[in-house]
Amino acid sequence: MTIALEMRNITKEFPGVKALNNVTIQVKQGEVHALCGENGAGKSTLMKVLSGLYPSGTYEGQILINGVERHFHKIKEAEEAGIAIIYQELALAKDLSIGENLFLGKEPAKFGIINWEQVYKESEKWLHEVGLNASPELPTGSLGIGKQQQVEIAKALSKNANILILDEPTAALTEQEVEILLGILQEFKKRGVTCIYISHKLNEVFAIADSITVLRDGMTVGTFATPDITEDQVISLMVGRELKERFPRVESNPGEVVLKVTNYTVMNPDIPGKKVVDDISFEVRKGEIFGIAGLMGAGRTELVMSLFGSYSGARTGSVEIEGKPVKINNTRQAIREGLALVSEDRKKYGLVLGMDIKSNVTMASLKSISAGGVINHNQEIASGNEYIQSLKIKANSVETITGTLSGGNQQKVVLGKWLMTAPKILILDEPTRGIDVGAKFEIYGIMNELIRQGVSIIMVSSELPELLGMSHRIMVIAEGKRMAEFKAEEATQELIMTAATGGSDK
């Protein structure tokens, strides 16, 4: 057994943060090696050190590839050593064609003229490798996220990667796309490609990884052969304590109807005549968690965004809040009516990454911390601190720039921002995507506290265990239509999946 990669005593500091503290990891040739750890544990940072994004000299410790110490001063040098990384946030240029993305920076050229024919021919070969049937001339942005992910992998391969790093590759993928991705990785493994796999989804980790390294607070906890360890053990190593129950659902005593949606239909703004939400009716009561299940593309996000006034498609039907008909046309009105939406896409709708934590947290509640139009800065800081504590956001201070937080901690800032608006109805769209198990548990605890206070929660989630574990009622939609509704006690994964794939008329 050869060691393809060894990172020895890696220490990496940012101003005020020791992101990595003496981390050591050994990865065997041809294995899939998973990296697990809570949000902010240092997983992405370790991989950025390896990929040359953080150049040699900006960290301490050694990197050995096939036993030889290497110093990468830039990404290109790591690539030449066979290391390719697919970052947590996809980095493709959406306006460029697939082929252009694949060959960005290394287009085959003669006398400075790019040979496009060759670019596209070569691209086809790589797309075929990853099982993607798409013309390389298509704009990359026209592909769904799962396919963009495949383009990323094709791109990594076209650089002749021996070590392929995937940082949270499946956070935004459908079940089916995840299957395809795992299949591709199995295929690479057969060919001897070494893979480092970062994911918060432990079922995937256990399905694909040969060994698992756990990081906690920037330190290595240990490396284990997958057959020698259980999911529960990995969880307790990650969070540093036993986590007995994954979903702390509490009984609810639902009160009066807070939200009543009747015959709600939403049109696709781009395709005339196409409905994304089709004649949906439902009610949500005070103090309950109402789950919405469905496959990706079923119209769940469009439904909640439209209710929140942030979806441009025309709609018909009626919405009542506390018995009063409302017409919500924009986010400001939505907030005024007591709605809050924690969006699945934090970059697009939730956060200003260049601003600090306190500004992001207070952004939707400026009125409550201002007097005479002037923001009270002490109160802004106090509010920021309040959410750093209650949500356990891993950050130095309220002045930390949100973009420097780890992915999961950014998601907690979005949550803080909307909690601060003190909503009557809190809509959570994939609230725990990219969030570690410990933090998920904390978020569930917060949800329970909110319903105890009489808030109503609508939760859209693709993670069925979470939906089943936390909701009191679950509505299933498919192709924009309401397919079924289940009480918590009667719902099962099978019933929901059958309804979501159009198989039930309950």
Ligand X SMILES: Nc1ncnc2c1ncn2[C@@H]1O[C@H](COP(=O)(O)OP(=O)(O)OP(=O)(O)O)[C@@H](O)[C@H]1O
Q: Does 402 bind Mg ion (CB under 5 A)?
A: no
Strand ranges, E, within 78-225 = 83-86, 109-110, 113-114, 163-167, 194-198, 211-216, 219-225
- Least separation in angstroms between CB 336 and ligand X: 33
Residue nearest Mg ion by beta-carbon distance: 44
Tokens standing for 123? Answer: 């691209």
Strands laid side by side in the 257-267 sheet: 275-285, 257-267, 315-321, 324-326
Tokens standing for 367? Answer: 């009125």
Nearer Cβ to ligand X (88/158): 88
Q: Which helix (H) or strand (E) holds 186?
A: helix 175-190
Which among Mg ion, ligand X, none contacts residue 299 (Cβ within 5 to 8 A by kind)?
none
Nearer Cβ to Mg ion (88/383): 88
The piece of 133-141, 264-272, 401-409, 480-488 that touches Mg ion (CB under 5 A) is 401-409
Nearer Cβ to Mg ion (150/199): 199
**Per-residue x/- marks for Mg ion, 72-91, CB under 5 A?**
----------------x---
Strand partners, 64: 6, 69
Polymer length in residues for the chain: 506
- Least separation in angstroms between CB 354 and ligand X: 13
- Least separation in angstroms between CB 220 and ligand X: 13
- Least separation in angstroms between CB 10 and ligand X: 12
Question: Phi/psi zone of residue 400: left (φ > 0), alpha (ψ -120 to 50 degrees), beta?
Answer: beta
Which among ligand X, Mg ion, none contacts residue 19 (Cβ within 5 to 8 A by kind)?
ligand X
* Binding-site ranges for ligand X (CB under 6 A): 14, 17, 19, 37, 39-45, 88, 394, 404-409, 436
- Least separation in angstroms between CB 85 and Mg ion: 12
Nearer Cβ to ligand X (378/389): 389
Nearer Cβ to Mg ion (88/211): 88
Nearer Cβ to Mg ion (408/416): 408
Of 152-211, binders to Mg ion (CB under 5 A) are none
Nearer Cβ to ligand X (350/407): 407
Q: Which helix (H) or strand (E) holds 498?
A: helix 493-500
What is the phi/psi pair of residue 498, to 5°?
A: -60, -45
- For 210, half-sphere exposure in the C-beta direction (CA atoms, 13 angstrom radius) is 15
The piece of 37-45, 47-55, 76-84, 359-367 that touches Mg ion (CB under 5 A) is 37-45
- Least separation in angstroms between CB 243 and ligand X: 17
Q: Does 400 bind Mg ion (CB under 5 A)?
A: no
The piece of 38-46, 67-75, 169-177, 393-401 that touches Mg ion (CB under 5 A) is 38-46
Which among ligand X, Mg ion, none contacts residue 408 (Cβ within 5 to 8 A by kind)?
ligand X
- Least separation in angstroms between CB 413 and ligand X: 11
Nearer Cβ to ligand X (136/384): 384
Strand partners, 33: 196, 211
The correct pick among 4, 25, 44, 153 for binding Mg ion (CB under 5 A) is 44
Cβ contacts of 424 within 8 Å, gap of 6 or more: 258, 321, 322, 337, 338, 339, 455, 456
Query: What gap in Å lies between CA 492 and CA 361, rounded to an integer?
Result: 36
- Least separation in angstroms between CB 54 and ligand X: 9
Nearer Cβ to ligand X (165/328): 165
How far CA 402 is from CA of 87, 362, 413, in Å, comes to: 18, 13, 8
Q: Does 301 bind Mg ion (CB under 5 A)?
A: no
- Least separation in angstroms between CB 16 and ligand X: 8
Residue-by-residue DSSP string for 362-418: HGGGGGGGEETTEE-HHHHHHHHHHHHHHTT---S-TTSBGGGS-HHHHHHHHHHHH
Considering Cα of 314, then 318, then 322, then 325, what sign does the dihedral take? positive
Query: What gap in Å lies between CA 396 and CA 63, rounded to an integer?
Result: 28
Which among Mg ion, ligand X, none contacts residue 473 (Cβ within 5 to 8 A by kind)?
none
Nearer Cβ to ligand X (37/99): 37
- Least separation in angstroms between CB 14 and Mg ion: 14
Strand partners, 264: 280
Q: Classify residue 232 by its DSSP letter.
A: H
Q: Is 296 helix (H, G, I), strand (E, B) or coil?
A: coil
Nearer Cβ to ligand X (174/404): 404
Q: What angle do CA 214, 167, 469 make, to 5 degrees?
A: 70
- Least separation in angstroms between CB 39 and ligand X: 3
Query: What gap in Å lies between CA 165 and CA 32, rounded to an integer?
Result: 10
Q: Does 410 bind Mg ion (CB under 5 A)?
A: no
- Least separation in angstroms between CB 168 and Mg ion: 6
Binding residue count for Mg ion, defined by CB under 5 A: 3
Q: Classify residue 139 by its DSSP letter.
A: B
Which among Mg ion, ligand X, none contacts residue 45 (Cβ within 5 to 8 A by kind)?
ligand X
Of 224-283, binders to Mg ion (CB under 5 A) are none
Tokens standing for 247? Answer: 């979903």
Nearer Cβ to Mg ion (209/261): 209
* Residues near Mg ion (CB under 5 A): 44, 88, 407
